[in-house]
Amino acid sequence: MIRWISGIIGLGIVAVLGWSLLWSVVGVVTDPPAPTAEHYVRSHHPLLSAELPSEGLFGKYDLRQLQRGFQVYKEVCAACHSIRLVSFRDLKQLGYDDGQVKAIAAGWQIEQPNVNPDTGEVATRKNLPSDRFPLVFANDVAARAANNNAVPPDLSLMTKARHEGPDYVYSLVGHGYVNQPADLLAKFPDAKTPKGLHYNQYFANLNIAMPPPLTQDGQVQYLDGTKPTVDQMAKDVAAFLTWTAEPNLDTRHGAGFAVLGFLLVFCFLAYGAYQNVWRNMKH
């Protein structure tokens, strides 16, 4: 009797859920949600492809591009954005030698906080290769005070935190800052960018507190002679931030191919062993 009652109750619950789902679908079809300015812009301006060498199954980092991207970060982005999960000595993966890494660490614009164990006084010291990149701001209060009440995000994992991260960074900083289209305001009058913010067609809500970081060609003078257009600088910093988020990509790809090769050889060996063990058995 209890089983019958439980079954009836279960069927009732399933029927109610099915009925609710049906009418939810019907409601979406017959009365779709009103389009938003964000969806309208996104449908007309999808993310641009950064076309980085690291993309794809066989992708590998271009060390010269990573060094250029680090130069863009250092000269443009580091004034506001930290990369707190990266150590100076990690830059050796970009092709810098020990002396260069030591010089970069010692000459970094922000020094490491250092507490005197005897007096408790807080001072600073020069960075060492073993140190992580220091925080730009001591806390969120200081960050907001310096950035119109906005906290610049840490960029260490930015390309992992955003969908299609490398393309997002490239599109946002290289091609996102444009004049707000008149047809957008005609269709969505409430979408006008508020005072103190900047219109960016690739930002989530179209209005971003960060001013355009890359404003003109030649803003960064590349040491390798590459022409520093805004598009090139955007690609390079996107490549660098892809590396900060996934520094072991080349190693991971190499390990993956090694595992696939081992499995392929193992399959052939297993098949050969099978044929050898069962060769005299009748089917």
Q: Strand 198-199 vs strand 122-125: parallel, antiparallel, or unpaired?
A: unpaired
DSSP notation for the chain: -HHHHHHHHHHHHHHHHHHHHHHHHHHHHHSPPPP-HHHHHHHHSPPPP---TT-STT----HHHHHHHHHHIIIIITTT---TT-BGGGGGGGT--HHHHHHHHHT-SSPEEEE-TTT--EEEE---TTSBPPPSSSSHHHHHHHTTT--PPP-TTHHHHSTTHHHHHHHHHHH-B-PPPHHHHHH-GGGPPPTT-EEBTTSTTSEESSPPS--STTSS--TT-----HHHHHHHHHHHHHHHH-TTHHHHHHHHHHHHHHHHHHHHHHHHHHHHHTTTS--
Structure tokens at 163: 């969908």
Between CA 201 and CA 77 the distance in angstroms is 20
Query: Does the annotation list 81 as a binding residue?
Result: yes
Query: Does the annotation list 210 as a binding residue?
Result: yes
Query: Does the annotation list 77 as a binding residue?
Result: yes
Annotated binding-site residues read: 77, 80-81, 210
Annotated binding-site residues for heme c read: 77, 80-81, 210
